[in-house]
Amino acid sequence: MANELKYGDQIHLQNGYNGWQGGYLDTNGHSAETGGKYAVSTNDSPTRAKGTGTWEILSASGKAAGQPVVSGDLVYLRNLYGGDGGYLDTNNHATADQKTAGAKFDVSTSQTRDRATGTGRWRIFAQTSTPADQNVRLGDTVHLWNTYGDNGGFLETNNHSSASGAKYDICTNAYFNRSSNVADWKIHKAQA
């Protein structure tokens, strides 16, 4: 099928909060965390600045570029800001306010694939796809679960971001969708 997500594809990830109004996963500003590269939040546009909202999907288990992504696969997400915006990564704890809603870890990018064991690895789970052959496709809604400590939590939007021009802050949560589809992410093909 032409719309299967393949390793090496460049994508935008749209958050499902409030009827898909959660914004697009975006790097914005430098990370204050040790080993961090850029802070991560959402933005109304997938192209706030060149590459900030574009992510390359890579296999974390040795699958070759061009192979289809299967629901349940272990992946890395590499940001393309400046040609290399770093790898999506859990780094430090969520804020006290976020923790009252089940949050676990803050999210930023890191220069390395795994800043610490599992921090940059995400299991991708599609809600469903057509046909139901286990492959993930463009337009599918997915959850991204971090493997840090064997239970890094689900990628979600949580509270407003303080970054300039940003929409919502990003963290991980113990609950796969604690409220209003905050952990739903729709996959869109990035424009060349």
Identify the pLDDT of residue 130: 95
Q: State the distance between the two ends of the chain, measured CA to CA, in whole angstroms.
A: 21
**What does the pLDDT look like over 114-161, one tens digit per residue?**
999 999 999 999 999 999 999 999 999 999 999 999 999 999 999 999
pTM as predicted: 0.97
Does the structure show a pLDDT above 90 at 191?
Answer: no
Q: Work out the average pLDDT over 17-21.
A: 97
Q: Work out the average pLDDT over 52-74.
A: 98
Q: Binning pLDDT at 50, 70 and 90, where does residue 192 land?
A: low
- Return mean pLDDT, the chain: 96
Identify the pLDDT of residue 58: 98
Does the structure show a pLDDT above 70 at 41?
Answer: yes
Identify the pLDDT of residue 143: 98
Q: Binning pLDDT at 50, 70 and 90, where does residue 18 land?
A: very high
Q: Compute CA distances 62 → 11, 19, 59, 74, 115, whole Å.
A: 20, 35, 6, 10, 18
Beta-carbon neighbour count of residue 191 at 10 Å? Answer: 9
What percentage of the chain has pLDDT greater than the value 90? 98
Identify the pLDDT of residue 1: 53
Dmax over CA atoms of the chain, in Å, equals 45
Q: Rg of the chain over CA atoms, in angstroms? A: 15
**Angle value at C-alpha 67, between 62 and 73, nearest 5 degrees:** 60
Does the structure show a pLDDT above 90 at 59?
Answer: yes
How many CA atoms lie less than 13 Å away from 161 in the CB half-sphere?
Answer: 28
Identify the pLDDT of residue 97: 97
Does the structure show a pLDDT above 90 at 187?
Answer: yes
* CB-based burial, 146-168: b 16+ in 10 Å, e otherwise: bbbeeebbbbbbbeebebeebbb
